[in-house]
């Protein structure tokens, strides 16, 4: 994930957030070895107002414990100079910042305090769209109540900085770097008044590992992510330059190996940087690859970028797809039945927000997890397909593994259930199983299969279309129950004359009222 994100924007820092807990130092060492730029140790006191009360009260530990362990472990493994250590979790004063620095942090996160400065009154209703002061809501009427001002936060942070400077002067430090890890400036209270704390020994928090002068005590070097050696940097950017800069169509055919990870992502970043959210016109850049692709093939690809692969691919195909198009099929020289053989790995289309993917063959487990907008056709999937999916369209022209649609709250999946056993593999907690009967839906489904057949030369899709009248009744529509209610509510409010954001808000409010009544009953 760290490598994928760095490819998505090689000029940005990649930060990994860890909970303050026993063993966090070991995890932080792994994060540093995986080339993250920042590791954030977060204490149990923080968290959003939408957090479950049980998590707020019982999960995590004070940031002081996790931060001390992280700094000590990184020092002992000569990793401290490679990564920035940040800390957060209800930091409110300059004294908190100074203690954090002395325990090993060089960056500090503030969230709750600036929110309060902006007007938050801690109603803990952030997830209900009912924030009375307009901080955490999409309701236009409630947002009018927001009275915050950016200058208020500026003043607050200026006061924090002033207190930090005063304490630094008292301790004899000229800059923050000198303070990092100086636990000798902290003294543990010997006499603790509270009876619960008597007998507890926290001296290991103030332990200073004995390391040589050559071991850095704060971040002094940048991580080497190996971006310059990627296929995008060595080949693809030069090939795609006319399209990115001038919008000219580009078509190229290239070999690919499984060591080539995140192929197309840096090109996608350059497209988005120049052309913004809209990207380029469809198929402006078409890249045909031959071979075996490594992990995250086509991750975050934007509109205008089409990636075609003759061969197979590893995990995370189309991760975070953002409007691009991916076509994967076996080599024309292969003699096996594509619909019965695995062609891509696990977790394809993880978190995709848009675009199209056509896969001639079987996909691994967790296909389309958290997909929120991409449309795809595949010929079979493994366990946990469409897990936590919130949008988009998925067509499966064959069997699925167990636990299909677990946590699925949006989007629609169409499964070709030839043997009538799909219901035994589907998690029915949040979804209904229906037949495809609506004329518009039938046309959309057939169009997606036709496109799949055209782009991948799929024999499976051709067979389905050839016997369409007999095959259509075997399709099962997987539709989330809440999503179904919202769609029906949208139809009602639009019939009443509303449109755009007003229609969306009215539909959600109507659905919320229905759920509240159902809960009361």
Third-level CATH fold of 227-472: Pectate Lyase C-like (2.160.20)
Q: Is residue 259 within 8 Å of 297, Cβ to Cβ?
A: no
The predicted pLDDT at position 518 comes to 67
Q: Tell me the mean pLDDT per 10 residues along the chain, length 521.
A: 95 95 95 97 78 77 95 96 95 96 96 92 86 91 93 96 97 95 87 75 88 88 93 97 96 97 97 95 97 97 98 97 97 92 97 98 97 98 97 97 96 96 96 95 97 97 97 97 87 82 77 68 44
The predicted pLDDT at position 475 comes to 98
- CA 121 from centre of chain: 29
Specify the 3-state DSSP secondary structure of 97. Answer: helix
171, with CB counted inside 10 A (0-12, 13-18, 19+), is middle
DSSP string, 374-398: EEEEESB--TTTTTT-EEEEEEESS
What residues contact 69, with CB distance under 8 A and at least 6 apart?
22, 23, 24, 25
User: Cα-flanking dihedrals φ and ψ of residue 444, to 5°?
Assistant: -65, -45
**What is the rounded distance in angstroms from the CA atom of residue 336 to the CA atom of residue 282?**
32
The predicted pLDDT at position 54 comes to 80
What residues contact 66, with CB distance under 8 A and at least 6 apart?
18, 19, 20, 21, 24, 41, 42, 43
**What is the rounded distance in angstroms from the CA atom of residue 162 to the CA atom of residue 40?**
24
Specify the 3-state DSSP secondary structure of 372. Answer: strand
| Domain residue ranges in the chain | 2-206, 227-472
Write the secondary structure of 249-267 as one string of H (helix), E (strand) and C (coil): CEEEEEEECCCCCCCCHHH
**What is the rounded distance in angstroms from the CA atom of residue 134 to the CA atom of residue 119?**
9
Q: Which superfamily does CATH assign the domain made up of 2-206 to?
A: Aldolase class I (3.20.20.70)
User: Cα-flanking dihedrals φ and ψ of residue 442, to 5°?
Assistant: -60, -45
The predicted pLDDT at position 49 comes to 62
The predicted pLDDT at position 516 comes to 67
**What is the rounded distance in angstroms from the CA atom of residue 298 to the CA atom of residue 171?**
52
């Amino acid at each position: 994930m760290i490598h994928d994100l760095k490819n998505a924007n090689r000029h940005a820092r990649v930060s990994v957030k860890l909970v303050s807990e026993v063993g966090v130092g070991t995890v932080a060492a792994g994060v540093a070895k995986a080339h993250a730029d920042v590791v954030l140790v977060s204490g149990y006191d923080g968290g959003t107002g939408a957090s479950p009360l049980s998590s707020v009260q019982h999960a995590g530990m004070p940031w002081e414990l996790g931060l001390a362990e992280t700094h000590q472990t990184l020092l002992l493994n000569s990793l401290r100079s490679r990564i920035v250590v940040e800390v957060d979790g209800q930091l409110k004063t300059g004294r908190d910042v100074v203690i954090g620095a002395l325990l090993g942090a060089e960056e500090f996160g503030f969230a709750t305090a600036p929110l309060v400065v902006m007007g938050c009154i801690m109603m803990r209703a952030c997830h209900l769209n009912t924030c009375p002061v307009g901080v955490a809501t999409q309701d236009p009427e409630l947002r009018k109540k927001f009275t915050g001002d950016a200058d208020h936060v500026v003043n607050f942070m200026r006061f924090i900085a002033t207190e930090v400077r005063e304490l630094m002067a008292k301790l004899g430090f000229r800059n923050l770097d000198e303070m990092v890890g100086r636990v000798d400036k902290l003294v543990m209270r010997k006499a603790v008044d509270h009876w619960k704390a008597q007998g507890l020994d926290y001296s290991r928090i103030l332990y200073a590992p004995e390391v040589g002068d050559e071991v850095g005590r704060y971040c002094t070097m940048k991580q080497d992510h190996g971006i310059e050696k990627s296929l995008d940097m060595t080949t693809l950017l030069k090939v795609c330059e006319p399209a990115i800069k001038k919008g000219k169509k580009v078509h190229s055919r290239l070999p690919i190996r499984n060591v080539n990870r995140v192929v197309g992502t840096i090109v996608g970043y350059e497209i988005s940087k120049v052309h913004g959210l809209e990207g380029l016109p469809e198929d402006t850049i078409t890249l045909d690859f031959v071979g075996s692709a490594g992990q995250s093939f086509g991750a975050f690809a934007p509109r205008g970028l089409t990636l075609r692969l003759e061969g197979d691919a590893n995990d995370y195909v189309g991760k975070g797809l953002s409007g691009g198009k991916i076509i994967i099929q076996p080599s024309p020289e292969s003699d096996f039945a594509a619909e019965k053989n695995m062609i891509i790995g696990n977790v394809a289309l993880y978190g995709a927000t848009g675009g199209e993917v056509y896969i001639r063959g079987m996909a691994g487990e967790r296909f389309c997890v958290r997909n929120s907008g991409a449309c795809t056709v595949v010929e079979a999937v493994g366990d946990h397909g469409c897990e936590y999916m919130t949008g988009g369209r998925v067509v499966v022209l064959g069997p699925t593994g167990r636990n299909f649609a677990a946590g699925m709250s949006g989007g629609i999946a169409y499964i070709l259930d030839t043997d009538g056993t799909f219901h035994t593999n589907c998690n029915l907690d949040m979804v209904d199983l229906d037949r495809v009967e609506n004329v518009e839906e039938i046309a959309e489904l057939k169009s997606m299969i036709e496109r799949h057949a055209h782009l991948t030369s799929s024999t499976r899709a051709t067979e389905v279309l050839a016997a369409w009248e007999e095959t259509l009744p075997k399709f099962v529509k997987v539709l989330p129950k809440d999503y179904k209610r919202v769609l029906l509510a949208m139809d009602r409010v639009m019939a009443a004359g509303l449109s755009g954001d007003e229609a969306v808000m009215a539909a959600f409010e109507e659905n919320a009222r229905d759920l509240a009544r159902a809960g009361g009953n």
